């Protein structure tokens, strides 16, 4: 590995998943909102405090609070705080969640505040029709951005769903299906819960939350007769919660959190070699019984094919070249306009981002050359290459000039959009020291999609990058691009079949 890329290829991709997991998995069905920080320090009757463990070590806590208003409305409030190490650097992420539902369980609205960097991102959702919800997203001091999303009228809130599951699942084999709203994905999802066994006074319940056909998150919970989750676990990163108390949590030492970056890498077991123009990989699930399957990411230069062996795929990755890039200004088709939009994380309408993009591009009209110039500009501009930030917006990166690959990717995407070049981000894996680790890079549309990686700044992306998901990073949620990767952490093997 080239010395100058040593720290730039170590991203904490998996940390973006933890708030989603805790909300979706550890606090029943994940419903979003906000909780004033001071309230988390005030004990109230009925509060549920859970200790969060990663890989067997205490990493943080979550608080769940259920309220009933005088008008009959129900309110569920939660707060989650996790500290972990990525390499030697500590990172803390927080989620504050709140959702309102009526007495029948119909969702009325939610508010969510997520803090993965210096600036928090706040999302407010309100129902504008039985099948539509309006989102208002604010990041830092940027203007609020609105977006309307589809909503399943059959969706019910956390308190209604919790009671239904607890009252329905009485004996082994009992099964119940519900539609839940995951605020971190801004989506309504099907959840199937089954009573697997009775263990003393506890019921062991498995819940599968369907992200897409064939792909589900799996949650195991041990529920007492009062409907409380005494313990829960997910088969990802050794994630587990245990019912605790405010007193025990405040007395817990979180100063030596678990390291989750290198420990979640996928070992290749050998040097990849320098031939990286085109690589054929074999990807195999370690546990083929898990309800997951690989699907084509749609990333440039990637072709995924299933094999005759269950849980095994071949992935051919090619370095993408282009000799006839479009000239600026581009005339994007309607589908491409999404990738020119300014969003909560890619603030391409920010005055300073526009000015810097224009200055860096100069008089160049070749769109690919401009994108490559901006890639190199971002590579040089971010001075502190570190793992201390979970996920910052492009505007914050411009101010702090620090971050890992996610910060490089969003800033490059914003600069390209400001220059009139459609862009999107790619989440996946990259080869690093005989392993594949979490990574993010950027793709630009210059007549076709071309990958660029501002973390490296080479003007191209080689076949040592394995894409698993692409996203415009619109105003719904950043969790969408990461949560699909979750079932593969620690559950996939990579073998190199061919290189050239």
Which pLDDT score, from 0 to 100, does residue 195 have? 98
Q: How many residues make up the chain in this entry?
A: 500
Give CA–CA dist 149/168, Å, rounded.
31
Span 85-110, pLDDT tens digits: 887 888 888 999 999 999 999 999 99
Span 419-463, pLDDT tens digits: 999 999 999 999 999 999 989 999 999 999 999 999 999 999 999
Give CA–CA dist 94/50, Å, rounded.
15
CA 150 to chain centre: 20
Pairing of strands 48-54, 239-244: antiparallel
pTM: 0.88
Residue 467, judged by CB atoms within 10 A of its CB (0-12, 13-18, 19+), counts as buried
Torsion angle defined by CA atoms of residues 98, 103, 106 and 110, in that order, rounded to the nearest 10 degrees: -10
Sequential DSSP letters for 181-193: EETTTTEEEEEEE
Contacts 24+ apart (CB under 8 A), 136-141: 137/343, 137/344, 137/475, 138/344, 139/344, 139/345, 139/347, 139/393, 139/395, 139/396, 140/393, 140/395, 140/396
Q: Nearest Cα to 464, choosing from 436, 491, 441?
A: 436
User: What is the phi/psi pair of residue 114, to 5°?
Assistant: -115, 135
Give CA–CA dist 375/412, Å, rounded.
6
Predicted confidence pLDDT, tens digits, the chain (500 residues): 333 333 233 333 333 333 344 433 332 222 222 333 444 546 788 899 999 999 889 999 999 999 999 889 999 999 999 998 887 888 888 999 999 999 999 999 999 998 888 888 999 999 999 999 999 999 988 889 999 999 999 999 999 999 999 999 999 999 999 999 998 888 999 999 999 999 999 999 999 999 888 888 899 999 998 888 999 998 877 889 999 999 999 999 988 888 887 788 899 989 999 999 999 999 999 887 788 888 899 999 999 999 999 899 999 999 999 999 999 999 989 999 999 999 999 999 999 999 999 999 999 999 999 999 999 999 999 998 877 777 889 999 999 999 889 999 999 999 999 999 999 999 999 999 999 998 999 999 999 999 999 999 999 999 999 999 999 998 666 777 777 677 777 788 999 999 99
Task: Identify the three-state secondary structure at position 10.
Answer: coil
Contact residues for 249 (Cβ-Cβ < 8 A; gap 6+): 49, 51, 61
Cis peptide, bond prior to residue 329, ω within 30 of zero:
yes
Q: Nearest Cα to 228, choosing from 48, 408, 108, 389?
A: 48
* Tokens, residue 184: 């971190």
Which pLDDT score, from 0 to 100, does residue 240 have? 94
Give CA–CA dist 250/474, Å, rounded.
37
Span 106-120, pLDDT tens digits: 999 999 998 888 888
Give CA–CA dist 85/10, Å, rounded.
12
Which pLDDT score, from 0 to 100, does residue 205 have? 97
């Amino acid at each position: 590995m080239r010395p100058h890329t040593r720290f730039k290829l170590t991203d904490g991709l998996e940390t973006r998943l933890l708030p989603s997991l805790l909300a979706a998995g550890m606090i029943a069905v994940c419903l979003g909102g906000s909780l004033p920080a001071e309230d988390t320090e005030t004990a109230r009757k009925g509060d549920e405090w859970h200790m969060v463990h990663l890989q067997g070590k205490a990493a943080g806590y979550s608080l769940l609070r259920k309220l009933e208003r005088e008008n009959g409305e129900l309110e569920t409030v939660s707060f989650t705080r996790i500290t972990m190490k990525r390499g030697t650097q500590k990172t803390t992420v927080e989620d504050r969640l709140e959702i309102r539902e009526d007495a029948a369980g119909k969702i009325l609205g939610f508010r969510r505040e997520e803090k993965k960097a210096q600036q928090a991102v706040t999302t407010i959702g309100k129902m504008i029709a039985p099948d539509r919800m309006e989102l208002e997203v604010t990041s830092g001091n940027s203007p609020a951005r609105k977006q309307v999303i589809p909503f399943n009228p059959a969706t019910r809130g956390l308190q209604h769903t919790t009671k239904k599951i607890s009252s329905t699942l009485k004996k082994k084999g009992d099964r119940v299906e519900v539609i839940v709203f995951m605020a971190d994905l801004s989506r309504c999802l099907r959840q199937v819960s089954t009573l697997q066994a009775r263990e003393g006074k506890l019921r062991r319940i498995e819940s599968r939350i369907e992200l897409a056909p064939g792909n589900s998150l799996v949650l195991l919970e041990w529920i007492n007769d009062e409907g409380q989750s005494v313990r829960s676990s997910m088969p990802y990163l050794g994630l587990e919660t245990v019912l605790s108390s405010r007193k025990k949590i405040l007395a817990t030492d979180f100063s030596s959190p678990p390291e989750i970056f290198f420990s979640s890498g996928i070992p290749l077991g050998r040097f990849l070699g320098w031939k990286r123009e085109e690589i054929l990989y074999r990807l195999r699930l370690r546990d083929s019984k898990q309800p997951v399957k690989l699907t084509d990411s749609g990333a440039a230069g990637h072709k995924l094919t299933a094999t005759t062996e269950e849980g095994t795929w071949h992935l051919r990755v090619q370095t993408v070249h282009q000799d006839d890039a479009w000239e600026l200004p581009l005339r994007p088709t309607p589908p491409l306009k999404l990738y020119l939009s300014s969003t909560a994380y890619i603030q391409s309408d920010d005055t300073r981002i526009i000015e810097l993009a224009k200055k860096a591009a100069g008089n160049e009209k070749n769109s690919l050359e401009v994108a490559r110039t901006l890639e190199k500009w971002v590579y040089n501009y971010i001075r502190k290459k570190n793992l201390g930030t979970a996920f910052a917006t492009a505007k914050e990166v411009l101010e702090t000039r620090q971050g890992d690959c996610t910060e490089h990717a969003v800033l490059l995407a914003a600069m390209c959009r400001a220059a009139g070049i459609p862009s999107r981000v790619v989440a996946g894996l990259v080869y690093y020291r005989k392993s594949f680790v979490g990574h993010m890079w950027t793709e630009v549309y210059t007549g076709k999609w071309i990958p660029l990686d501002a973390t490296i700044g080479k003007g191209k992306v080689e076949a040592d990058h394995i894409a698993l998901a692409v996203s415009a990073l619109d105003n719904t949620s950043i969790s969408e691009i990461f949560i699909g990767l979750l079932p593969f952490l620690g559950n996939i093997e990579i073998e190199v079949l061919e290189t050239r």
